[in-house]
């Protein structure tokens, strides 16, 4: 069948595009499009080549791994090539079934032959690194490069705390440990927070940041970029008897002291693979780092040898992907959201796009300075990222000419909700509405915060209802809530008598609360739940909190000058004192003695806990609540003052720190025992 000319042109164009993007990605570490878009182009070319093999040129990106050595870093030829893995792009269970069927066919196993053992593991989204240990000492670290030749990045890898400079135990004459250097999501968020505070450029995603950091010429450039590492295999070895299975090999690597991820399992047959794929999909968002899929490997090394390779990909391994956490979409507009404290946030209105498991049509742009730095304008094609429980974010735009001129976005001079003047503190980055509780947006947010589960816990008082109550002028300030009657509510649109009754009952119930909850509910800037609890405990009564001077406030645990000043400023405002007075008049009450309404025993009084990792059954919030209900305190970091560290799966540096300081470790069972 002759090849239509248009198709030949299309293939040539795709090759060029892919080469361009592969160069940006592999060599420059500055991709212009998300991986999912690259994969789509790649698959398009693959499909054309499959139908018309004569279009398959030797330089097609489908025929080799691209990536050249940058000037500046020294090229190193790998003792054994660093392979890549075939990707099963069907993200449904079918991908796992197809792999198992292929392996069984290659091994000529009949239908009645038993299920094969596979080692299933995570596909980390970072940068592949080869660690060469001679007599147990790290002598060289290299990137993968094009698979044959990589770059020497020993100077940077040595700064990664997780990578041992010396192996534990009896190390062989030579072992190359292969794995992925990556950046944890929290380390990435922290870095971007720091960049925002400094007014610097924020980074797109953890993968690019990690890859860029590793290939820096100057290790000092890594200072704020904390990297991590997981091993997933071995390269060249000498004087080492490799275990008979891949899972055993990973155990051996872990015993040498190199990090190996715990979410790995030996499973049987296609069913086992599918179950693993699903189990990991369910916890993907909760993982502390990005993964883009899982990897299945035939567990038995002898079978791996029998299966061998096709070009650069082993027949015994496959990557099975998940839906991408970054996507391209169109920026249709920019709206301003006014928050509880009056902060104006530009929000991107997007053409709806499926990313990270949900459809996203709004994403934060943080502030006008960041928006400018990203150079995003209405009409642009932008990259949207949604990973873990982090709110969706526009991380950048796809470079290219704009067909029409679009002016740069400007913050409004007046609040779009109440018309009050918008101001920015000198040197600050946030714009704020000066309308205070006069501003309906701030009032709505203040009411929602007040009603929140962790504040006054007024069940049924959600977004929509607050919107209606404020817009109809029924609720103008917090105390108005306690004047609501069933008749007022039932008059509202879509409000049935029964739900009106429920809300009034919920308001009634909320009157009995704790001092800590009440303080938190007031929405004082800088006063979160923990500070509110500390204040309640320290002062014991609202009058004393309201009368406290700054020096007195500074005596409270964890209260610094900024927080102390914010509390003072709040209670100095006549309007706020009036609101508090009216709320008390509405017979809101609490036990003034310990700030807690219930007087249950407090077995953990005076004890400080730190939680790390994922517990088998309790969520972080649940564990925290239980500890606090028993009188204990939960802190964010481990110090000499910590009494217990409760560690779950994937516990990280906090666990190491606890061990270092000799602090008592508990698992979930231990915690529950302690709680009685």
Which residues lie near ligand IVH (CB under 6 A)?
Answer: 83-85, 121-124, 128, 144, 180, 232-233, 295, 314, 317
Smallest separation, CB 287 to ligand IVH (Å): 13
Helix (H) or strand (E) holding 352: strand 343-355
Q: Annotated catalytic, 226? A: no
Smallest separation, CB 488 to ligand IVH (Å): 59
Q: Which residues pair with 216 in a beta bridge?
A: none
Cα 448 to Cα 65, 326, 456, 463, 527, distances in angstroms: 53, 31, 10, 7, 16
Sheet of strand 228-238, all strands in order from the earlier edge strand to the far edge: 137-143, 127-134, 174-182, 228-238
Strands (E), 239-325: 265-268, 291-298, 309-310, 313-314, 317-321
Looking at residue 614, what DSSP letter applies? B
Judged by CB, which is closer to ligand IVH: 62, or 84? 84
User: 337: helix, coil or strand?
Assistant: strand
Which residue number has the CB closest to ligand IVH? 128
Look up residue 8 and give its two tokens. Answer: 């030949």
10 Å Cβ neighbour count for 471? 11
Helix (H) or strand (E) holding 443: helix 440-451
556 touches 534 (CB < 8 A): yes
Smallest separation, CB 277 to ligand IVH (Å): 14
Enumerate long-range contacts of 260-265, CB under 8 Å, 24 or more apart.
260/230, 260/231, 260/232, 261/121, 261/122, 261/124, 261/230, 262/649, 262/650, 263/121, 263/122, 263/287, 263/649, 263/650, 264/119, 264/120, 264/121, 264/122, 265/119, 265/120
Smallest separation, CB 304 to ligand IVH (Å): 9
Strands (E), 64-216: 75-77, 86-88, 117-124, 127-134, 137-143, 149-151, 174-182
Judged by CB, which is closer to ligand IVH: 314, or 670? 314
Judged by CB, which is closer to ligand IVH: 99, or 232? 232
Smallest separation, CB 234 to ligand IVH (Å): 10
Measured at the CA of 494, the angle between CA 493 and CA 499, to 5 degrees, comes to: 115
117 touches 142 (CB < 8 A): no
Judged by CB, which is closer to ligand IVH: 84, or 381? 84
Judged by CB, which is closer to ligand IVH: 233, or 613? 233
68 touches 267 (CB < 8 A): no
Q: Which of 123, 225, 226, 374 is catalytic?
A: 123
Judged by CB, which is closer to ligand IVH: 122, or 658? 122
Smallest separation, CB 445 to ligand IVH (Å): 42
Strands (E), 97-215: 117-124, 127-134, 137-143, 149-151, 174-182
Q: Which residues pair with 129 in a beta bridge?
A: 143, 179
Smallest separation, CB 592 to ligand IVH (Å): 56
Smallest separation, CB 264 to ligand IVH (Å): 8
Strands (E), 429-482: 431-433
Judged by CB, which is closer to ligand IVH: 151, or 628? 151
Judged by CB, which is closer to ligand IVH: 147, or 219? 147
Which of the residues are catalytic?
123
């Amino acid at each position: 069948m002759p090849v239509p000319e248009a198709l030949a042109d299309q293939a040539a164009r795709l090759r060029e595009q892919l080469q361009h993007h592969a160069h940006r990605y592999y060599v420059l570490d500055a991709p212009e499009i998300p991986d999912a878009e690259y994969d789509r182009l790649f698959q398009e070319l693959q499909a054309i080549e499959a139908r018309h093999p004569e279009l398959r040129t030797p330089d097609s990106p489908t025929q080799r791994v691209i990536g050249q050595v940058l000037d500046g870093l020294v090229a190193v030829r790998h003792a054994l090539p660093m392979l890549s893995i075939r990707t099963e792009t069907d993200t449904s269970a079918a991908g796992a079934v197809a792999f198992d069927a292929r392996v069984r066919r290659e091994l000529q196993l009949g239908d009645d032959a038993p299920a094969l053992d596979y080692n299933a593991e995570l596909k980390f989204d970072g940068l592949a690194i080869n660690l060469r240990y001679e007599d147990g000492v790290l002598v060289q670290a290299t990137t993968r490069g094009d698979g044959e030749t990589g770059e020497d990045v020993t100077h940077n890898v040595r700064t990664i705390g997780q990578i041992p400079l010396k192996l534990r135990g009896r190390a062989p004459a030579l072992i190359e440990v292969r794995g992925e250097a990556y950046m944890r999501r929290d380390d990435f968020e922290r870095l971007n927070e720091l960049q925002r505070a400094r007014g610097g450029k924020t980074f797109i995603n953890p993968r690019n940041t990690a890859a860029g950091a590793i290939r820096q010429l100057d290790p000092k450039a890594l200072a704020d970029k904390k990297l991590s590492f997981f091993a997933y295999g071995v390269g060249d070895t000498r004087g080492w008897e490799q275990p008979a299975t891949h899972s055993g090999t990973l155990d051996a690597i872990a015993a040498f002291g190199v990090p190996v991820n715990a979410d790995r399992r030996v499973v049987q047959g296609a069913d086992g693979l599918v179950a693993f794929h699903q189990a990991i999909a369910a916890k993907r968002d909760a993982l502390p780092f990005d993964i883009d899929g899982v990897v299945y490997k035939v567990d038995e090394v002898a079978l791996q040898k029998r299966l061998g390779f096709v070009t650069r990909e082993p027949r015994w391994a496959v990557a099975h992907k998940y839906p991408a956490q970054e996507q391209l979409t169109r920026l249709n507009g920019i709206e301003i959201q006014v928050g509880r404290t009056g902060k104006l946030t530009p929000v991107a209105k997007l053409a709806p796009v499926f990313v990270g498991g949900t459809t996203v049509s709004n994403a934060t742009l943080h502030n006008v300075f960041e928006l400018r730095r990203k150079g995003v304008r209405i009409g642009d094609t932008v990259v949207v990222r949604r990973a873990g429980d982090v709110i969706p974010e526009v991380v950048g735009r796809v470079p290219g000419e704009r067909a029409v001129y679009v002016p740069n976005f400007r913050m409004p001079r007046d609040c779009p909700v109440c018309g009050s003047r918008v101001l920015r503190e000198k040197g600050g980055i946030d714009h704020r509405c000066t309308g205070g509780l006069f501003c309906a947006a701030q009032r709505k947010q203040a009411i929602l915060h007040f009603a929140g589960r962790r504040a006054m816990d007024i069940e049924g008082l959600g977004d929509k209802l607050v919107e209606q109550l404020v817009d109809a002028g029924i609720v103008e300030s917090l105390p108005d809530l306690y004047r609501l009657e069933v008749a007022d509510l039932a008059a509202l649109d879509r409000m049935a008598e029964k739900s009106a009754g429920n809300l009034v009952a919920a308001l009634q119930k909320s009157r009995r609360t704790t001092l800590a909850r009440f303080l938190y509910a007031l929405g004082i800037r800088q006063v979160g739940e923990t500070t509110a609890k500390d204040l309640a405990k320290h002062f014991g009564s609202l009058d004393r909190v309201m009368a406290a001077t700054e020096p007195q406030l500074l005596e409270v645990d964890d209260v610094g000058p900024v927080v102390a000043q914010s509390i003072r400023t709040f209670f100095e405002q006549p309007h706020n004192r009036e609101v508090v007075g009216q709320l008390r008049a509405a017979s809101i009450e609490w036990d003034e003695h310990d700030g807690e309404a219930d007087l249950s025993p407090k077995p953990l009084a005076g004890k400080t806990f730190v939680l790390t990792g994922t517990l088998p059954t309790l969520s972080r919030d649940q564990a925290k609540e239980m500890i606090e209900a028993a009188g204990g305190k939960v802190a964010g970091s481990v110090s000499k003052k910590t009494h217990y560290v409760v560690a779950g799966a994937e516990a990280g540096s906090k666990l190491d720190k606890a061990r270092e300081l000799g602090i008592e470790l508990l698992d979930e069972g231990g915690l529950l025992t302690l709680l009685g």
